[in-house]
Structure 1
Amino acid sequence: MKQAFRDYPVRGYTIIERNGLRIGIFGLLGKDAAEDASFARPITFSDPVEAARKTVKILKEREKVDLVVCLSHSGTNPDKAHSEDEKLAAAVPGIDVIVSGHTHTILQSPIRAGKTLIVSAGSYGTWLGVLDLKVGKSCKIEVTGYRLRKIDTSVPEDRNIARTIDGFRSLVEERYLSHFGYRFSQVLAFQPFNGQTIEETYTKPGETGLGNLVTDAYRYAVGEAEGRRRHIDAAVDVLGCIRSSLFKGDIRVSDVFQTTSLGPVQYGYCGNTIIVVYLTGRDLKNLLEVHTSIAPSKKDALLSVSGIRFSYNPNRMPFDRVTSVEIEGADHRFRPLENERRYSVAINSYLANLIDFVGKKSFGILQITPRDEAGNAVSARDESRLTVMRNGEPLREWIALAEYLSSFPEKNGIPTMPKRYAKPEGRIVAEASWNPVKLIARGNWITIIAAVLIVVAVILVVEFVHKRFRQGDHK
């Protein structure tokens, strides 16, 4: 890996000169993004603030740059406590501009943190951010303009870039897709509606028709691959693994891959594989609590589910907000979750490698122990034997989605997506309530301790007030 970094090469920074200005540019990976990099092992990441300080010192003192720009995969957040790039700006004031990524934030105007400007243009190339700066003789920086330009069909195509893309397309088809029997522009199905965009999902988080489609595809494809050997009770995915929307019209192989494109090279080809683990009802509830208590501050952790219906009360204590869970049986009837029963759950390899992360993010409260079909505890190192195989190949999530789309009933000679995937259908329901009974009913130890503390506090206040009244009467 070190040799590859040298050969590519990967540099610690680069210098460009424009109109007599020396501009130093360096990249940075934030702590939250590093935690998300589940396949990075055995690579480790240094502290981003310390790395930035060292690089800025070199750029300022050795390279004598006039402007320091940080391309940061750390992100901003309305909650200042979780806004890594704002923390970076405060800790490393020598950075002039931070171009912020990772959190997919669309900043309509720059954030000024001290003397540092922070800009962000969303995700997936939807917007082009343009920042105009005026740099004075003493390197004083003045913002003269900032705008976001929507990238859509109104933007003329660049012929040279289009020609390059066409060249890559033939390579992808020849060296990758042909192995699975697909072509780049092959039509798999027709979608008669426009669904919610990924951008909208991050601004208005919750259940989505697209997430339902993807997780339903997991269960369908596992069943097909295994000849219906076992019933898959549920499937779970996270929003961060769904990378693109599907729009009205023909859905092609390239669209499907773009939607579920995450995953490293495994078993010779890239893409997340699908594995099946067994979770007790208690563990499954803990996994669903990710949606209620971790995702509000980390939206890419929002869940999509299949074979599950659950409700939660966002006003309850964190990590104890799920109030009811039902699981779909082989007869397609939903029944209440049983705490000690083991359920088969299809997930992708990315989520499988992050299950330990759930415990870390919940301060050890949400403990989850994945098991194999025999009931033995498993970990990430057991992934290969838990991976679902299809025709002698590991089943990849994009293949699962492609197969599921192709299975839909035909209309006018083409498989057509059912309209139930146009919008949420009640798999995840938020039921906000301040009713005291609903706040503590069937609560775990967190809720019980909180309730006891509140009761004790109320008793102490009542005793204090009563004592003061008695003292007043005595006088």
Structure 2
Amino acid sequence: MVRAGFTRGTSGVQTVYDVFAVAPLGAGVVDPTAGSALVTAYLTGQELKHLLEFFLVDNPAHPGEFFPRASGMRFRYDPSRPRFDVVTAIELGDLDRGYHAIDITGKDERLYSLTCPLYLAVIAVAIPKYTQGLLPLIPKNKDGQPQDSRVEALELPRAHTPYMLPPSGTLDKTSLATTGEMDALQEIKEWQAIMDHLRRLPVEGKDELPMFPVDERSKEVRAIKAG
């Protein structure tokens, strides 16, 4: 859930605070500090379509606020089509390896992993409820078994928190993206994942900071609008 973008400023240097400000919303499950934890679920191609369909329904009061942006996936959509049926194709891949189309009709039950912030996941598992069953979606583990924790997330009263998040410990911790250190379970925060990516960017010389590359990747359009 991107809250802000990077700004060049006078020096061009991005601090830890700048990175945190990109994705500061939410909290974790075992780590209650600020910043949404990353969670992983497995969905069919049709369920990925349903996820996109929901977030492509724009809110006139907040235009573009929930427009879906993803890496590793490219999709095509046609706003002139009926509501909840604007996505016409989904492809997985990237510029280096190329993209391949997946089935979004529901005929193929193959599962695809999806990692997103917990802040977004709690909204995603409520999509069937919000759409009165028009967009069915069941988050599953890698074995195809439903993740039972979605029930607690769906019925959480918003009055308990400024964010639509469940109380600590009520989600299935096996769905968390985690890293182990000294036998301790640690969540991966969304902003930390962004920081890790930035640290892996090319470095021009010794003792230099990583640089944002300006190439075809920075110009790639992964949400392709018809017309």
Q: Which amino acid aligns with 1:411?
A: E
Q: Which amino acid aligns with 1:304?
A: R
Q: 1:406 aligns with which of 199, 204, 216?
A: 199
For 2:18, what is the secondary structure of its paired residue? helix
Name 2:19's counterpart in structure 1.
256
Alignment of 1:305 onto 2:70? yes
1:267-306 equivalences under 5 Å are 267-268=30-31, 269-294=33-58, 298=62, 299-306=64-71
Check whether the contact 2:125–2:139 (CA below 8 A) recurs between aligned residues.
no
Residues 260 and 408 of structure 1, relative CA distance in 2, 3 Å threshold? same
Check whether the contact 1:388–1:395 (CA below 8 A) recurs between aligned residues.
yes
Query: TM-score, structure 1 length as denominator?
Result: 0.38
Aligned counterparts of 2:111 and 2:126: Cα–Cα separation in 1: 21
1:121-270 equivalences under 5 Å are 241-248=1-8, 249-264=12-27, 266-268=29-31, 269-270=33-34
Q: Which has the higher contact order (CA 8 A, sep 6+)?
A: 2
Name 1:388's counterpart in structure 2.
177
Shift of 1:348: 0.9
Identity of aligned residues (%): 28
Q: Deviations over 1:20-56 (max 9, x none)?
A: xxxxxxxxxxxxxxxxxxxxxxxxxxxxxxxxxxxxx
Aligned counterparts of 1:421 and 1:263: Cα–Cα separation in 2: 32
Check whether the contact 1:294–1:362 (CA below 8 A) recurs between aligned residues.
no
Name 1:344's counterpart in structure 2.
113
Aligned residue-pair number: 191
Task: Tell me which stretches of 4 or more aligned residues in structure 1 moved more than 4 Å.
Answer: 294-298, 420-424
Shift of 1:247: 1.2
Aligned counterparts of 1:302 and 1:261: Cα–Cα separation in 2: 18
For 2:75, what is the secondary structure of its paired residue? strand
Residues 388 and 417 of structure 1, relative CA distance in 2, 3 Å threshold? same
Residues 292 and 263 of structure 1, relative CA distance in 2, 3 Å threshold? closer
Q: Deviations over 1:276-325 (max 9, x none)?
A: 11000110111111233255665322111111111111000000000111
Cα RMSD after superposing both structures = 2.3
Check whether the contact 2:42–2:140 (CA below 8 A) recurs between aligned residues.
yes
Check whether the contact 2:45–2:110 (CA below 8 A) recurs between aligned residues.
yes
Q: Deviations over 1:70-102 (max 9, x none)?
A: xxxxxxxxxxxxxxxxxxxxxxxxxxxxxxxxx
Aligned counterparts of 2:215 and 2:138: Cα–Cα separation in 1: 33
For 2:126, what is the secondary structure of its paired residue? helix
Q: Which amino acid aligns with 1:428?
A: A
Check whether the contact 1:292–1:318 (CA below 8 A) recurs between aligned residues.
no
1:4-19 equivalences under 5 Å are none
Q: Which amino acid aligns with 1:333?
A: G
Aligned counterparts of 2:196 and 2:43: Cα–Cα separation in 1: 26
Name 1:205's counterpart in structure 2.
none
Shift of 1:421: 8.4
1:323-362 equivalences under 5 Å are 323-328=88-93, 332-338=97-103, 339-362=108-131
Q: Which amino acid aligns with 1:364?
A: G
Shift of 1:359: 2.3
Structure 1 or 2: larger strand share? Answer: 1
Name 1:127's counterpart in structure 2.
none
Q: Highest CA radius of gyration, 1 or 2? A: 1
Q: Which amino acid aligns with 2:194?
A: L
Q: Which amino acid aligns with 1:246?
A: F
Alignment of 1:367 onto 2:136? yes
Q: Deviations over 1:436-455 (max 9, x none)?
A: xxxxxxxxxxxxxxxxxxxx
Check whether the contact 1:278–1:345 (CA below 8 A) recurs between aligned residues.
yes
Aligned counterparts of 2:174 and 2:133: Cα–Cα separation in 1: 27
Gaps of 5+ in 2: 151-169
Name 1:430's counterpart in structure 2.
225
Q: Which amino acid aligns with 2:129?
A: K
Q: Which amino acid aligns with 1:406?
A: R
Aligned counterparts of 2:61 and 2:132: Cα–Cα separation in 1: 15
For 2:196, what is the secondary structure of its paired residue? helix
1:65-76 equivalences under 5 Å are none
Aligned counterparts of 1:365 and 1:401: Cα–Cα separation in 2: 34
Aligned counterparts of 1:394 and 1:250: Cα–Cα separation in 2: 27
Structure 1 or 2: larger helix share? Answer: 1
Check whether the contact 1:295–1:302 (CA below 8 A) recurs between aligned residues.
no
